[in-house]
Structure 1
Amino acid sequence: MDPTSGVVIVTGGAGGLGEATVRRLHRAGAAVVVFDRDEARAAGLATDLGSRARSCAGDAADDADMEKAVATAEELGALRGLVACAGGAARSLRTVGKDGIPHPMELFREVLEGNAVSAFNSLRLAAAAMSKQEPDSTGERGAVVLTASIAAYEGQIGQIAYAAAKAAVVGMTLVGARDLAAAGVRVNTIAPGTFGTPGWDAAPPGVRERLEAKVPFPRRFGAPEEFAAAAEHLLTNGYVNGHVLRLDGAVRFDPA
């Protein structure tokens, strides 16, 4: 089944990796729901795309907000795909700081909520809607792409919360694929390395260049369009299931 013949929800879809994914899938023929906390940016992107695009504002970890996104998708047609890009971490701290103060539990829970909980919530609610669709000749009803990070494997000093959250996303990939096999819904995950999203524009001079120099090849940050291409492939290749794709130019994070 080609999910781009139906409707795809992209969480965190108004900027960065999510926006690139929305634009690519829309060009491929999919109807798209741009789901994001930033209501104005989501609406602006949907307006820019025109037909076959809707926006929906909310938090992917919130049941009511995610249910609203699914309902918006079903107004456009059959929900066939989900790309969960929502996530990130505003702050990074050590397990015990240099001042001897332990990592705040509130911050740890916040990062897990924004990454692992939001991924699972979007997965479970979108997959439930997909499972009600008519299957294709192979029995497939839909496909899901989650977003982790290579920090799940090589988290750096100060990334304990973020690495744990992204490791949880990696951990739910195969189990999710097995759980949803009977429903005909595939589940895969992309674990990006360092990508050139707009957030890097505010980095101090030289920081980006030093990080790019650590990437074996190509010696640069990934482009959001490359993430989008990988997401499209995982949505449309019917034999890829339960897989975590490292998209990182062969880089391995140093401890710091």
Structure 2
Amino acid sequence: MDVKDQVALVTGGASGLGLATARRLVARGAKVVLCDLPGPQGEAVARELGSGARFVAADVADPQAMEAAVAAAEGLGPLRVLVHCAGRGGSSRVVDRDGKPMPLEHFTEIIRVNLIGTFNALRLAAAAMARAEPLGEERGVCILTASVAGYEGQIGQTPYASSKAGVIGLTICAARDLASRHIRVCTIAPGIFDTPLLGRLPENVRAALNASVPNPQRLGVPDEFAMLAMQIVENPYLNGETIRLDGALRMPPR
């Protein structure tokens, strides 16, 4: 798909992977709606990206908020691209050192944001795409974000790994569900990326993370995620696939 003059919705678009992807979409001539939690950063990013971008505040797991975000995108034209990057982490063991079980609320909240939020964005964006006229052999493409933790979750990552494994499992099913609508669904499973969250880590910890990646021996940069997202958008035969983007990393237990 050529995104010039087409409409894209990017969740988590105010920073990190989402912002890098939004920049590439705008550079290719797309009209982009950035969706993120309320705050001044989203508006500032939209201004930075120029007239091709606007910001809508939303919790991705909130049906009404995401309906408003999709409606804002449709106000610019037929929605053709969803890149869903919004998500959250959080470390906690199933049973802690004092023998106490993980609070169920902790597990539930990460599943709510990462898995239910992903499906909420997907279902609403896909319904909007289904209303559009086809562009050749497709109506739209939805790109989701999982993690290598969905395959090799580490100690303390039970909620996060479960949520991302859910996104991986969702991908092929959703691609098959939406095939008759000519809407593609793919997922990117990043390894360790240099996002604002990791930017707060001490330098010795960052050096150890760099050394853990086989090749290239460094953290991924958000623009590499954005490059792959654009390649998925542009290649009409990519569908139903989860692509690891991790420098051949396989996560150890801790």
* TM bucket normalised to smaller: over 0.9
Which shows bigger deviation, 39-48 or 233-242?
A: 39-48
Q: Quote the Cα distance in structure 2 between the aligned partners of 1:248 and 1:59.
A: 28
Output the amino acid matched with 1:65.
A
Output the amino acid matched with 1:68.
A
Residue correspondence of structure 1 range 42-191 to structure 2 within 5 A: 42-89=42-89, 91-138=90-137, 140-191=138-189
* 8 Å contact from structure 2 (residues 3, 28) kept in 1: no
SS of 2:174's partner is helix
* 8 Å contact from structure 1 (residues 52, 76) kept in 2: no
**Displacement after TM superposition at 1:3 (Å):** 4.0
Which runs of 5 or more structure 2 residues have no equivalent in the other structure?
A: none
**Displacement after TM superposition at 1:99 (Å):** 1.3
* 8 Å contact from structure 2 (residues 3, 29) kept in 1: no
Q: Which residue of 2 aligns with 1:22?
A: 22
* 8 Å contact from structure 1 (residues 31, 76) kept in 2: yes
Q: Which residue of 1 aligns with 2:210?
A: 212
Residue correspondence of structure 1 range 2-41 to structure 2 within 5 A: 2-41=2-41
The normalised TM-score by structure 1 is 0.97
**Displacement after TM superposition at 1:137 (Å):** 2.4
* 8 Å contact from structure 1 (residues 82, 143) kept in 2: yes
Q: Quote the Cα distance in structure 2 between the aligned partners of 1:136 and 1:38.
A: 33
* 8 Å contact from structure 1 (residues 3, 143) kept in 2: no
Output the amino acid matched with 1:51.
S
Give a deviation string over 1:31-89, Cα, whole Å, max 9, x none. Answer: 10010004311111111122121110010110111111111111111100000000021
Q: Which residue of 1 aligns with 2:237?
A: 239
Q: Quote the Cα distance in structure 2 between the aligned partners of 1:252 and 1:171.
A: 19
Q: Quote the Cα distance in structure 2 between the aligned partners of 1:134 and 1:83.
A: 20
Output the amino acid matched with 2:28.
A
**Displacement after TM superposition at 1:190 (Å):** 0.3
Identity across the alignment (%): 52
Divergent runs of 4+, >6 A: none
Output the amino acid matched with 1:25.
L
Q: Which residue of 2 aligns with 1:253?
A: 251
Q: Quote the Cα distance in structure 2 between the aligned partners of 1:4 and 1:183.
A: 22
Which runs of 5 or more structure 1 residues have no equivalent in the other structure?
A: none
